[in-house]
Amino acid sequence: MEIETNALEEKTENKSHEKTEKETESTNPRDTVNFWKKWIKSAKKAGERHASETRDAWREYEGSSISVTNSIVETTKEKESYPIYWASVKTLEPAYYSRTPKITSKRTFDVEDETARVASILVERLGSFLVENSNFDSAMQSAVLDFIHGDKATVQVNYSVEIIEDNNRINLYEVQSEQGDTVYIRTRPTIETFRYKKGMALPVQNPESPYVALKIDQGEGFSFALDKIDEFQSDIKLMNVWGEDAAKQMQ
């Protein structure tokens, strides 16, 4: 009797465990393969319907544009119709894209860093060159029409470049002087003003811009040592922080 009772208890436990697993599966349909098969099938069906509607919209737009062109020749009242869809699209186009954008590039937080300044200028000039010397406007206008007709548009910029390694260092400063050199600095001339009277002869000035000679006879420097243990235990880059602080003090 004890053996039969234990067997019944084990069967009851197994049934309850199977029931719990079925309940878990029923409450999590996303974990089943059938759910995602149905979802993919539904998505494909919706995508086909969306593509069909987009093609119909393009046909309507292109057909309307042709009818507008031919309306000058065909003036029969029976064939006259107002291309409402074509007119609506033409009204919406400038709201999405109306003119070529102006490329601007600036340093984050306006950091006074010569390298960052030059990099910002390079990025701005490169962007302006690509916009001016490519089919940027036509690509954007095509994307606008795709978005209006099909509610979807993708614009991609493909930039290919050939990199040539050059180990020569480019000097970022216009003038670089060493100790003992003489630098000539231009000055701004002073322009004298006068009260004008009708019919008077205008006096002509010859502005002169004298140079100021500046001899580089002073120099500054800094030097410090950083222990390897302190560098490893520190949560900041001490070498960079100390170097930046010293550079600011020399300005």
CA distance 52 to 31: 32
Whole-model pTM? 0.44
Positive/negative CA dihedral, 246, 247, 250, 251 = negative
Residue with token string 């057909």? 63
Q: Which of 22-26, 70-74, 132-136, 212-216 has the highest mean pLDDT?
A: 132-136
CA geometry: angle at 129 spanning 126 and 135, to 5°? 125
Q: How confident is the model at residue 40 (pLDDT cuts 50, 70, 90)?
A: very high
DSSP for residue 180: T
Cα separations (Å) of 101 from 118, 131, 132, 140? 22, 8, 10, 11
The tokens describing 163, both together, are 């990199």
Quick one: how far is CA 12 from the chain centroid?
64
Task: Report the DSSP pairing between strands 211-215 and 182-186.
Answer: antiparallel
Q: Give yes or no for a contact between 93 and 146, defined as CB atoms under 8 angstroms apart.
A: no
AA letter at 179: Q
AA letter at 102: K
More confident residue, 2 or 53: 53
List strand residue ranges (DSSP E) for 147-204, in order.
182-186
In the Cβ-directed half-sphere of 46, how many Cα atoms lie within 13 Å? 6
CA distance 144 to 149: 9
AA letter at 92: L
Query: pLDDT for 65-100, tens place per residue?
Result: 655 555 544 544 445 577 888 888 889 999 999 888
Query: pLDDT for 142-185, tens place per residue?
Result: 899 989 988 888 888 777 778 877 776 655 444 555 566 777 77
DSSP for residue 211: E
**Which has the closest alpha carbon to 131: 97, 86, 90?**
97
The whole-chain average pLDDT of the chain stands at: 76
CA distance 234 to 230: 6
Q: Helices (DSSP H) in 71-200: which residue ranges?
A: 84-96, 114-132, 136-150
Q: Helices (DSSP H) in the chain: which residue ranges?
A: 2-27, 33-70, 84-96, 114-132, 136-150, 228-233, 238-249
